Amino acid sequence: MARTTAPLRQTWTALRALLVLTVVLGLGYPLVVLGVGQLLLPAQANGSLVVVDDRVVGSALIGQSFSDADGTPLPEWFQPRPSAAGDGYDGAASSGSNYGPENPDLIAAIEERRAAIAAFNGVDPADIPADALTASASGLDPHISPAYALLQVDRVAEARGLSAAAVRALVEQHTQGRDLGYLGESTVNVLELNVALAEAASTGTGAD
């Protein structure tokens, strides 16, 4: 009889442990983390959503294209860096091209982008920064360099009927310094900059 009850006791003990751990770790812990996130960092916990007129227009963490239905970049918007994630900035297909620096397809793509960006912005091809020509490893990078943002100022200002000085000031206002003052490089969040640009254009701030 003892040999029969011992396995039963062990099974019941294991089931009770499973139930307790399921409640504590599968239900209690996630709820605590959710509560702390909503209390201390609600914006970040909810995906760093960017809201304009009570409408979500994107996330500050994920880039997006500013092009027409045919994929042609719109001159009135600051443009992001290239994306190799799906059809571009696809959160379900995050990836880079995985091409090495000497890959002929990558070299050809870079030269094609260089010519297109130079023509689109009316600048010298030699002035185009590297981040404008290459996709990020994730394909979802929402940032560009201040150099690439400033390169686009004249084109955006002309398309919007704003002064170049006003548009340049928006870029400077939305330039984020290095993390902790020394990590990484300065960046500009394209979506947040374009939201500020649309607001300035709608109010006539900085009209040329």
Q: Based on the domain organization, do 39 and 112 belong to the same domain?
A: no
Quick: pLDDT tens for 28-80. 898 888 888 788 877 777 888 888 888 998 899 999 999 998 889 999 999 99
DSSP H or E segment with residue 49: strand 49-52
The whole-number average pLDDT for the span 72-99 is 90
141 confidence band (pLDDT: 50, 70, 90): very high
Q: What is the mean pLDDT of the chain?
A: 90
Same domain for 20 and 56? no
Instruction: Tell me how many domains the chain contains.
Output: 2
* CA nearest to 78, candidates 191, 207, 199, 168: 191
Average pLDDT over residues 120-144: 94
Mean pLDDT across 99-123: 94
Residue 162, pLDDT score: 94
Tokens 């003892």 sit on residue? 2
pTM: 0.81
Does residue 129 or residue 87 have the better pLDDT?
129
**Do 18 and 68 sit in the same domain of this protein?**
no
- DSSP-assigned letter for residue 25: I
Judge whether residue 18 has pLDDT over 60: yes
Alpha-carbon span 185 to 177, nearest angstrom: 7
Q: Residue 157 has which token pair?
A: 């200002």
Q: How far apart are CA 43 and CA 120, in angstroms?
A: 35
DSSP conformational letter for 85: S
Same domain? For 167 and 75 the reply is yes
- Residue 91 belongs to what domain range? 47-203
- If asked whether residues 19 and 88 sit together in one domain, one would say no
* pLDDT at residue 194, as a whole number: 97
Looking at residues 174-197, what average pLDDT do you find?
92
Helix axes 153-160, 190-203, angle to 10 degrees: 30
pLDDT of residue 4: 64
Rg (CA), the chain: 25
Question: What pLDDT does 156 receive?
Answer: 97
Give residue 45's pLDDT.
79
Do 86 and 57 fall within a single domain?
yes
**Contacts by 155-158, CB closer than 8 A, 24 or more apart:** 155/75, 155/120, 155/121, 155/122, 156/75, 156/76, 156/77, 156/78, 156/197, 157/208, 158/75
Q: Give pLDDT, residue 3.
A: 60
